[in-house]
Amino acid sequence: MFLHGFPEGAFIWDEVMRHFALPQHGAYRCIAPNLRGFERSSAPEDAKAYRAKYLLQDIAALIQTEGGSLACLVAHDWGGAVAWNLANQLPQLARKLAIINSPHPGTFLRELQTSAKQRAASAYMNFLIRPDAEDLLAQDDYRRLWEFFTAMGAADGPHAWLSDALKQQYRELWSHGLRGGCNYYRASPLRPARADDPAAAGVELPQAMLSVALQTLVIWGLNDIALPSELVHGLQAYVPRLRLQTVADASHWIVHEQPDLVMRLLGEFLSAD
């Protein structure tokens, strides 16, 4: 099962799913849902409906509907936030976990509390919780959302992968509404503090909520300016069966930028004992 992030949708996994459905690559049954709040999935208005426990319940119910246990749960960005929680709380639902540029809650909380660099990199989160954020994101043909891809990518500007055809897919996705996606940020305290909101500064997470016993692959594009590489430092303390693969020439959008590499690394992980 493949979980997407913001401002993405399930379609980002199409090429990867076609690959792993082939007999020579395992003949897996591959599923990629649109998360709560995205495209045609249910999209409650209340931000409280996007708290971690509800997102976890959605995915757990879908896994159980599809047979009860996954060969691997693969996730990027906000999908990874759901996947880390599922691996901690319901490890019986997956045999392996693969995370792509999505911070573990333990290292993310640490960096938000101790690192000015991470707080500056995450400052955009406090824009996305504004009550008018979805309206501002939709303005000027989604100008600010395109900047998520260009400004949060490599320093050399727009990427060749952001083709006209792909941009149209994104327009169609976003046309269903952006409130659900913004509600992920409103529901989570893991963001930089503001004058009237301690946010991450007021959070404590016990080790029991952070440990992941599953075999875990973490793929991390090192040019991710929103999620710097310090977020993978110390990850072994939470994830003892960790395989970490950093990629020097990739950004947060590595699934788009280097799908062949992502598929190779996932294939090697799936076939390993």
Which of 119, 140, 85, 117 lies closest to 200, judged by CA? 119
* 111-122 mean pLDDT: 98
Residue-wise pLDDT for 174-225, tens only, equals: 999 999 999 999 999 999 999 999 999 999 999 999 999 999 999 999 999 9
Q: Is the pLDDT of residue 85 over 50?
A: yes
Q: Is the pLDDT of residue 26 over 80?
A: yes
Q: What element of type H or E holds 217?
A: strand 215-221
Give the count of beta carbons closer than 10 Å to the beta carbon of residue 249: 12
* 39-44 mean pLDDT: 96
Confidence of residue 153 (pLDDT cuts 50, 70, 90): low
pLDDT of residue 175: 98
* 111-133 mean pLDDT: 98
* 88-93 mean pLDDT: 98
For domain 2-271, give the CATH number.
3.40.50.1820
Confidence of residue 128 (pLDDT cuts 50, 70, 90): very high
pLDDT of residue 155: 46
| Backbone φ and ψ of 265, nearest 5° | -65, -40
Q: Per-domain residue ranges for the chain? A: 2-271
Q: What is the Cα 19 distance to its own chain's centre?
A: 21
Q: Is the pLDDT of residue 158 over 80?
A: no
Which of 76, 81, 38, 33 lies closest to 56, judged by CA? 81
Q: Is the pLDDT of residue 32 over 90?
A: yes
DSSP 13-71: GHHHHHHHHSGGGT------PPPTTSTTS---SSGGGGSHHHHHHHHHHHHHHTTS-BS
Q: Which position has the token pair 């409280």?
A: 48
Q: What DSSP state is assigned to residue 214?
A: S
pTM of the full predicted structure? 0.96
* 64-83 mean pLDDT: 95
Share of the chain above pLDDT 90, in %: 95
